[in-house]
């Protein structure tokens, strides 16, 4: 492609970022629309070329991305690879392996009263999509949807998150080098969000907070643009008395404190049965010390808050319960220690909004019925975690709860499985992606009925009488296995009127 250049930090800081005005932005989007209308994005060969180019980008600029993520969030190399560059390479590989199957038309059974005919669903791209990423996983949450958009054959406007300023600058410089400039626009400047949302798109894919999600959805109403909203919420972890507490603690700790808790699917709070509460807390404290040492501030594995605004929003939560682990906060370093709170009131501020930081309230419940009631009374979460060795209990909890996704005896890893849909429900979002689900999200499932003209019975046309009505009723009550559709169609093509004459 256009290059394999690693941009030094001083070059990125000095780069000018001049915001586009309305005319320039509109002209750029129209350029993408012209490309889409030309059919350039339709061939599988073009889609493959774009995905392979992205895959090469992650390998050739791995160090650039890793350095930028370290500068913005203090992400360690493992987290950067597992949740960002490596994650996306895996997503791309999955799309490349299955894309030909995804685009294949899907047959559908045709009712006997429409034979001879064939029915199928074809998947066509929507057009020019707007993809708005989020700062907490800036590569994954911007380019993951882009992978799906490309696989489906769309052009796209890509808006990386400016809040993660270092990775924003790296993406602004590097990403355009690996994408077809006729089909993609990377907004690597200070163009206003309101100006972007005022443009006409064929799809908007937004990842962020419910509050901003409302703004995006409102903007989409101007042109009735379909939206996918990947939001968040307070994802609960339920731990019942049969759970393996050691494993539960390790997996809750990892899921909660990955990226210093700045993860939309992080366990937001824990509901544990009273008789195991103290033992679970001891295991959680033990896991934190094993992961980050006696002083997490000195750990190379623990991330930082993105900025002072995020830091300041979290510090008051430290007073909403008894700190049994952590509690240290250093504003000048954007550091909040991995913290566990007990004796937290359900009405405390820390239990009202998604925490999005390294603070974990652990609340007691008498039993899982009380835990379920607690969750059911609140907004539907993006993720739901249950820890138990009792299969009947697990199935009961799943049956009586709802969420965007679930892990049983694990946290956050459901989003790593390409075949599973990732997304929210209710206030936590709408629409699903990853793997084929992402392909479908950026596609129009188009119904096609291909009706032969060799048999055109008078039954379907006015004037209608009782005889026609009775015939139609009987035909609509008939059903045949799909394997007989073609033979029946052939018979009707040749002797349709005679066959209909037998139906009285």
Dihedral, CA of residue 184, residue 188, residue 191 and residue 192, to nearest 10? 100
Please, are residues 205 and 158 in contact by the beta-carbon 8 Å criterion?
no
CA distance 212 to 161: 13
Residues with Cβ < 8 Å from 415, sequence gap 6 or more?
Answer: 265, 405, 422, 434
CA distance 20 to 216: 20
Q: Pick the catalytic residue: 230, 283, 354, 436?
A: 230
Please, are residues 292 and 386 in contact by the beta-carbon 8 Å criterion?
no
Closest CA to 350 of 311, 384, 316, 305: 316
CA distance 212 to 206: 9
DSSP three-state, residue 244: coil
CA distance 196 to 480: 52
Please, are residues 237 and 383 in contact by the beta-carbon 8 Å criterion?
no
- Measured N-to-C along each axis, helices 391-399 and 368-376 cross at an angle, to the nearest 10 degrees, of 20
CA distance 7 to 427: 40
Q: Pick the catalytic residue: 264, 325, 354, 436?
A: 264
CA distance 422 to 425: 10
> What residues does 227 pair with on adjacent strands?
204
Beta strands per DSSP E along 83-182: 106-108, 117-125, 128-132, 155-159
Please, are residues 125 and 43 in contact by the beta-carbon 8 Å criterion?
no
- Return the H-helix or E-strand segment holding 204: strand 203-207
325 is catalytic: no
Please, are residues 217 and 229 in contact by the beta-carbon 8 Å criterion?
yes
CA distance 97 to 44: 12
264 is catalytic: yes
CA distance 260 to 302: 6
DSSP codes joined into one string, 387-423: E-S-HHHHHHHHHT---SEEEES-SSGGGG-TTS-B-
What is the side-by-side strand order in the sheet with 117-125? Answer: 106-108, 117-125, 443-451
User: Token digits for 156?
Assistant: 């796209």
Please, are residues 379 and 282 in contact by the beta-carbon 8 Å criterion?
no
Closest CA to 269 of 247, 252, 248, 293: 252
DSSP codes joined into one string, 320-367: SSEEEE---EEGGGTEE--EEEES--TTSGGGTS---SSEEEEEEESS
Among all residues, which ones are annotated catalytic?
A: 230, 264
């Amino acid at each position: 492609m256009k290059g394999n250049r690693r941009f030094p930090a001083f070059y990125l800081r000095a780069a000018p970022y001049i915001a586009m005005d309305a005319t320039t932005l509109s002209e750029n989007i129209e350029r993408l629309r012209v490309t889409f209308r030309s059919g350039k994005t339709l061939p599988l060969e073009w889609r493959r070329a774009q995905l392979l180019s992205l895959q090469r980008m992650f390998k050739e600029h791995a160090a650039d991305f890793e350095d930028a993520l370290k500068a913005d969030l203090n992400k360690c190399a493992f987290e950067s690879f597992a949740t960002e560059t490596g994650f996306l390479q895996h997503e791309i590989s999955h799309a490349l392996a299955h894309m030909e199957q995804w685009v294949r038309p899907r047959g559908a059974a045709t009712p006997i009263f429409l034979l001879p005919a064939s029915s199928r669903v074809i998947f066509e791209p929507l057009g020019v999509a707007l993809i708005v990423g989020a700062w907490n996983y800036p590569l994954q949450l911007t380019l993951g949807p882009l992978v799906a958009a490309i696989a489906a054959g769309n052009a796209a406007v890509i808006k990386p998150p400016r809040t993660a300023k270092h990775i924003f600058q790296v993406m602004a410089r590097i990403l355009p080098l690996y994408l077809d400039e006729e089909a993609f626009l990377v907004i690597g400047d200070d163009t206003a969000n309101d100006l972007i949302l005022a443009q006409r798109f064929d799809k908007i894919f937004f990842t962020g907070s419910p509050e901003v999600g409302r703004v995006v959805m409102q903007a989409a109403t101007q042109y009735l643009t379909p939206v996918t909203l990947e939001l968040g919420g307070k994802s609960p972890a339920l731990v019942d008395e049969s759970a393996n507490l050691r494993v539960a603690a390790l997996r809750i700790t990892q899921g909660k404190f990955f990226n210093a808790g700045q993860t939309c699917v992080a366990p937001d709070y824990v509901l544990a049965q009273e008789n195991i509460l103290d033992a679970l807390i001891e295991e959680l404290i033990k896991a934190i010390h094993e992961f980050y040492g006696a002083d997490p501030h000195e750990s190379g594995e623990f991330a930082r808050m993105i900025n002072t605004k995020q830091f300041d929003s979290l510090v008051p939560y430290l007073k909403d319960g008894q700190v049994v682990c952590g509690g240290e906060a250093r504003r000048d370093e954007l550091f909040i220690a991995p913290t566990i709170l007990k004796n937290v009131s359900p009405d405390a501020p820390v239990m009202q909004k998604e925490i999005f930081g390294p603070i974990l309230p652990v609340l007691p419940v008498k039993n899982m019925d009380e835990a379920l009631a607690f969750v059911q009374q609140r907004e539907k979460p993006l993720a739901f975690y249950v820890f138990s060795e009792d299969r009947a209990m697990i199935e009961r909890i799943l049956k009586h709860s709802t969420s965007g996704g679930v892990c049983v005896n694990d946290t956050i890893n459901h989003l790593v499985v390409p075949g599973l849909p990732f997304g929210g429900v209710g206030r936590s979002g709408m629409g699903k992606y990853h793997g084929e689900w992402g392909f479908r999200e950026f596609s129009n499932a188009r119904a096609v009925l291909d009706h032969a003209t060799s048999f055109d019975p008078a039954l379907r046309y006015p004037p209608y009488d009782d005889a026609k009505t009775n015939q139609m009723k009987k035909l609509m009550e008939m059903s045949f296995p799909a394997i007989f559709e073609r033979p029946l169609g052939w018979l009707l093509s040749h002797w349709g009127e005679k066959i209909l004459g037998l139906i009285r």
